[in-house]
Chains A and B, each alone.
Chain A
Amino acid sequence: MNLTIHEGEFVAIMGENGAGKSTLCQMMNGIIPNSIGGRLAGKVLVHGLNTQEAGISILATKVGIVLEDPETQLFTSSVKSEVAFGAENLCLSPEDIEERVAWALNVVRLKGFEDRLPTSLSGGQKQRLAIAANIAMRPDILVLDEATSQLDPVGVEEVLSVARELNQKYGMTIIMATDASEMIARHMDRVIVLNEGKLEADGTPRQIFSDLPLFKKLMIRSPQVSQLAAKMQEAEKPFSSFPITIDEAKENVIQLVGNRPGRVTVVPENHKTVEGAQTSILVDNLDYIYQPLNVHAVKGVSFEIKKGEFVALIGQNGSGKTTVLKNLLGLLRPTSGTVLVAGRDTKKTAVAEMAEHVGFVLQNPDQQLFAQTVAEEISYGPKNLGLPPEEIEKRIEETLKVVGLEGRREEFPPAMPKGDRAKVVIASALALDPEIIILDEPTTGQDYKGCHQIMQIAQALHEQGRTVVFVTHHMALVAEYAKRVIVLSGGKLLLDDVTEAVFSQPEVVRQAYIIPPQITELGQALPPELGLPRTPLSVQTMADALLQKLNAPSLEQEHV
């Protein structure tokens, strides 16, 4: 691979999981191959300095790196000492360190947080702190290796705006492995696409996002407005230019259909009526307080989920989503209020007993894989129930089929790719044949392909008649898949309605620091007189509406 990155560039690295993004990132400051073994053929030069020959301290002042998991890169117990850590290792004088700490905290907007515990910060704040800790060493280059993929949309926005400021105001070269394509389109100069360790494409965001064959070949995320343009192109009704931002798309749409009056009748997305169905989950006035620090995480939340519903639970990090989910299983017991799941009071039922009725998939697959083979992993639950071997065998086969991992029963789960590990965990929960499936952030840290595959599995489970509840930060997925959305904010219930109704109130949704998907924002940005859907939930809906409008006999002629 050959690649040159110039001073002051703001570069995005995209690619599917396993394409080599992290390896490339870690090569830039010599961690590969100096600390982590491996054979490197060729050279990596940073400012003419060979990373294999230069020492860590020299490289650390040239290249800073921020990793995906905030927890692994913060070592001390105060914000200030965290930022000072690197500068101290460079043997600077206390006065210099003090000055750099003040500067770095100011840049990442954490001034006033000096004495806080790093663990008490939000995800976005932690990543900004990790940036501060790196830039205090005054590197010329900052590498962000998937540094936003575990954050909620607001956290992503925070980190990006800091990165942008470092780039524009301080001329720092920023290299970011990310798939936040909407942000890439708005702010970055250059996109590098990797595939199987090779350089697949390299160009401006516009060149890359309009490269339709590329997106056919690789499952990577392009801005939803670009996806819309691609669909229009396929239907041979292309826009006059290729949009990558909302504003451009708005102009394009107006230009294309602006002179065609008349309202598009959109077939409402199929909302299964669940009136009268059995209650699956009932949460009544739930309060939860974490001890010993007395954190009031959930305050008076009530909702009812009927059998067979497909519900997304959304909210900012720390809004209480995971706490609510854990209360559904008895992993946490309500401080006050009642939770009835599958007719059982979770306060009085053992977790293991609940597990027969509710399949709960926790966030990190790696903490949920205990066995040596996939088959053994899936049979873990049924064995605990004491099911006969024939039945267990049947369930292994069935669940593997549902998650699309047929023929891989002998593999060692921890060594499988990230997306497949998540699927094994889902299969293992399904093996208990639960009537309710709860997925806690199943898509976090997954690439675009993994996200959709997981959501399609959830969709299939919903179609089997099971109740499905999931938490995710990916609003495009919520809009596309969920039938109903519950929004939590600051531990309280903010909204609870069908998906379309929730996203049709952007002001309210933003109170929960949630940013609606881009295609929905486009629908709301367009002038209402165009008669296009105001709250399109998927790119397909919008494309269909546009095509319907274009194919309808023009009404103008009647006026003549």
Chain B
Amino acid sequence: MSSLISYYPGNTLFHRLDPRVKIIFMLIACTGILMINDFYIAALVFGLIILLWFSAKLPFSVFLGFMKVLLPIAAFLFVIQAIFYPGATPLIKPLIPIGKGYGQITLEGIIYSFVLALRLMAMIIMLPLISYTTPVQDFALGMTKMGLPYTMAYTMTTALNLVPLLQTETKVIVDAQKLRAMQTFEKGKLGEKLRAYPALVTPLVIGSMRRAQLMAVAMDSRAFGASKKRTYLKDLKMRTADWLFMIATVVFTIGFIVLSRYL
């Protein structure tokens, strides 16, 4: 999987949206998705988010990377839910009767599992849609404009920035271990794998601490946190497209929730 936080420059509608609108979009859409329990609506919402993904012209391979990780998780959820969801229309009799109504696979169970898997994928795929199209400093600016102190906004975005760095670092360390004939992560048993983790943690922690200290030096020397307020080179202005997108988000979300409840 490619990293969660990095920026793909572009000039699509989604790139140009005000970061505040994107943050609000994410909050509203996530709440909305959690409230949907109709299969068709969930599928529609997932489809719409994929459409947005492609309208932002993010590389297809990145999308595939996410799907590679998400699908097994979704499949796992699917199986668990399908087995344990109590329903009225049994499709397959349980092999081992676990309890009343449980353990048998029902039509309702299958449908609910689909909804759950779709909701999960829709929400997770939304995060990179936003982080990949928004420069970190705009994110921070958006959050400050929404009332967060700037030091906190920057701390949050910097922390997010560390995610891809840690991912790359982990890969390098695992490579280094493979270069010393380590096969645990490929062939080892579960116990062996667990025992292999501490060896990964030592260099990762030491490296992160060293890096954090240097970053603090660099930030200090650029007068970060020197005064309570700071100015910004770039100002945010809500344009018509931003308002339209926000209104559309609200309307669609409410619409979908209502539809899924009363359909």
Which A residues contact B (CB, under 8 angstroms)? 26, 29, 31, 34-36, 55-57, 60-61, 63-65, 67, 69, 71-73, 75-78, 80-81, 84-94, 97-98, 101, 115, 117, 119, 130, 133-134, 137, 291-293, 329, 331, 350-353, 355-356, 359-360, 362, 364, 366-372, 380-381, 384-385, 414, 428-429, 432
Q: Within 8 Å of chain A (Cβ to Cβ): is B218?
A: yes
Shortest CB-to-CB span from B11 to chain A, Å, is 10
Q: With CB as the reference atom, state the residue of chain A lying closest to B227.
A: A91
- The contact sample of 22 A-B pairs, CB cut-off 8 A, is A29-B221, A31-B217, A56-B223, A60-B222, A64-B221, A73-B214, A75-B215, A75-B219, A80-B233, A91-B231, A117-B9, A130-B218, A291-B61, A292-B2, A350-B186, A355-B179, A355-B180, A367-B203, A367-B207, A368-B203, A380-B180, A384-B181
A86's partner among B59, B217, B222 (CB-CB below 8 A) is B222
Which residues does chain A contribute within 8 Å of B216, judged by CB atoms?
35
Which B residues contact A (CB, under 8 angstroms)? 2, 6-7, 9, 59, 61-62, 65, 135-137, 154, 158, 161, 165, 169, 172-173, 175-183, 186, 199-200, 202-203, 206-207, 210-211, 213-227, 229-235
Which residues does chain B contribute within 8 Å of A60, judged by CB atoms?
220-223, 226
In angstroms, Cα B211 to Cα A360, docked, is 24
Which residues does chain A contribute within 8 Å of B9, judged by CB atoms?
115, 117
In angstroms, Cα B221 to Cα A89, docked, is 11
B213's partner among A36, A57, A92, A119 (CB-CB below 8 A) is A36
In angstroms, Cα B135 to Cα A385, docked, is 46
Known: A67-B217, A293-B59. A90 touches B223 (CB 8 A): yes
A81 and B206 within 8 A (CB): no
Given A137-B223, A384-B183, 13 additional A-B pairs, CB 8 A = A56-B225, A57-B226, A72-B211, A76-B136, A85-B222, A94-B231, A94-B233, A292-B2, A362-B172, A368-B173, A369-B202, A384-B180, A429-B180
A414's partner among B173, B206, B234 (CB-CB below 8 A) is B206
Known: A94-B235, A350-B186. A72 touches B218 (CB 8 A): yes
In angstroms, Cα B221 to Cα A34, docked, is 12
Which residues does chain B contribute within 8 Å of A86, judged by CB atoms?
222-223
In angstroms, Cα B183 to Cα A356, docked, is 12
Known: A292-B59, A367-B173. A134 touches B179 (CB 8 A): no
A67 and B214 within 8 A (CB): yes
B137 and A77 within 8 A (CB): yes
Shortest CB-to-CB span from A80 to chain B, Å, is 8
B177 and A370 within 8 A (CB): yes
A88 and B59 within 8 A (CB): no
Q: Which of B158, B219, B226 has most A Cβ within 10 Å?
A: B226
Which residues does chain B contribute within 8 Å of A65, judged by CB atoms?
217-218, 221
Which residues does chain B contribute within 8 Å of A428, judged by CB atoms?
180
Which residues does chain A contribute within 8 Å of B61, judged by CB atoms?
291-292
In angstroms, Cα B227 to Cα A61, docked, is 14
In angstroms, Cα B179 to Cα A356, docked, is 8
A93's partner among B165, B210, B231 (CB-CB below 8 A) is B231
Which 5 A-B residue pairings sit nearest by Cβ, starting from the closest? A57-B226, A73-B218, A86-B222, A60-B223, A77-B135
Which residues does chain A contribute within 8 Å of B199, judged by CB atoms?
370-371, 380
Which residues does chain B contribute within 8 Å of A89, judged by CB atoms?
222-227, 230
In angstroms, Cα B136 to Cα A41, docked, is 40
Which residues does chain A contribute within 8 Å of B232, judged by CB atoms?
88, 94
B217 and A362 within 8 A (CB): no
Which residues does chain B contribute within 8 Å of A291, judged by CB atoms?
61
A370's partner among B200, B210, B225, B233 (CB-CB below 8 A) is B200
A75 and B161 within 8 A (CB): yes
Which residues does chain B contribute within 8 Å of A36, judged by CB atoms?
213, 217
Q: With CB as the reference atom, state the residue of chain B lying closest to A64.
A: B221
Known: A81-B233, A117-B7. A56 touches B176 (CB 8 A): no
Which residues does chain B contribute within 8 Å of A117, judged by CB atoms?
7, 9
In angstroms, Cα B177 to Cα A350, docked, is 13
A35's partner among B59, B177, B217 (CB-CB below 8 A) is B217
Q: With CB as the reference atom, state the residue of chain B lying closest to A351.
A: B178
B175 and A77 within 8 A (CB): no
Which residues does chain B contribute within 8 Å of A364, judged by CB atoms?
172
B231 and A97 within 8 A (CB): yes
In angstroms, Cα B159 to Cα A327, docked, is 32
In angstroms, Cα B108 to Cα A141, docked, is 71
Q: With CB as the reference atom, state the residue of chain A lying closest to B206.
A: A414
A134 and B226 within 8 A (CB): no
Known: A75-B161, A93-B231, A380-B180. A351 touches B175 (CB 8 A): yes
In angstroms, Cα B150 to Cα A319, docked, is 40
In angstroms, Cα B182 to Cα A117, docked, is 36
Q: With CB as the reference atom, state the residue of chain B lying closest to A381.
A: B180
Q: With CB as the reference atom, state the residue of chain A lying closest to B65.
A: A292
A355 and B178 within 8 A (CB): yes
Shortest CB-to-CB span from B194 to chain A, Å, is 15
Shortest CB-to-CB span from A394 to chain B, Å, is 17
Shortest CB-to-CB span from A129 to chain B, Å, is 12
In angstroms, Cα B203 to Cα A372, docked, is 11
Q: Which of B136, B177, B220, B233 has most A Cβ within 10 Å?
A: B233
B176's partner among A94, A133, A368 (CB-CB below 8 A) is A368
Which residues does chain A contribute within 8 Å of B214, judged by CB atoms?
67, 69, 72-73
Which residues does chain A contribute within 8 Å of B62, judged by CB atoms?
292
In angstroms, Cα B214 to Cα A67, docked, is 8
In angstroms, Cα B217 to Cα A60, docked, is 11
Known: A77-B137, A90-B226. A385 touches B233 (CB 8 A): no
Which residues does chain A contribute within 8 Å of B177, judged by CB atoms?
370, 380
B230 and A91 within 8 A (CB): yes
Shortest CB-to-CB span from B71 to chain A, Å, is 18
Which residues does chain A contribute within 8 Å of B173, judged by CB atoms?
367-368, 370
Shortest CB-to-CB span from A235 to chain B, Å, is 45
In angstroms, Cα B226 to Cα A34, docked, is 13
A31 and B179 within 8 A (CB): no
In angstroms, Cα B150 to Cα A91, docked, is 12
In angstroms, Cα B227 to Cα A29, docked, is 17
A81's partner among B135, B181, B222 (CB-CB below 8 A) is B135
Known: A26-B217, A35-B217, A60-B226. A384 touches B182 (CB 8 A): yes
Which residues does chain A contribute within 8 Å of B137, judged by CB atoms?
75-78, 81, 85
Q: With CB as the reference atom, state the residue of chain B lying closest to A61.
A: B223
A352 and B59 within 8 A (CB): no
In angstroms, Cα B99 to Cα A195, docked, is 77
Which residues does chain A contribute within 8 Å of B200, judged by CB atoms?
370
In angstroms, Cα B218 to Cα A130, docked, is 9
A381 and B223 within 8 A (CB): no
B178 and A369 within 8 A (CB): no
A77 and B136 within 8 A (CB): yes
